Amino acid sequence: MLRQIIGQAKKHPSLIPLFVFIGAGGTGAALYVLRLALFNPDVSWDRKNNPEPWNKLGPNEQYKFYSVNVDYSKLKKEGPDF
């Protein structure tokens, strides 16, 4: 398959940016899914030792990818400990 892509790129050089952007988009999507699977508190890989990982998050820990208006370092805990 890679040989076909290289052959098409040699015959039609205008396709090179298309291949680059499609490859970058696929790589970015795969890395984002990997980030969600490994670092999201909603995902529990170890149910015996840590069945509810979202309860161990403090109020000042940012787990979102990008936060527009919230400064997580200044938040205080408002609820009880469980």
Give the domain ranges of the chain. Answer: 1-39, 46-81
Q: State phi, psi for 46 to the nearest 5 degrees.
A: -120, 95
pLDDT per residue as tens digits for the range 2-36:
898 888 889 999 988 999 999 999 999 999 999 88
pLDDT above 80 (res 57):
no
Asked if residues 19 and 38 have their Cβ atoms less than 8 Å apart, the reply is: no
> Which residues does 9 contact at the CB level (< 8 Å), separation at least 6?
15, 16, 19
Quote the CA–CA distance of 9 and 16 in Å, as a whole number: 6
Local confidence band at 59 (pLDDT 50, 70, 90 cut-offs)? low
Higher pLDDT, 48 or 19: 19
Predicted TM-score (pTM) of this structure: 0.60
Is 79's pLDDT higher than 70?
Answer: no
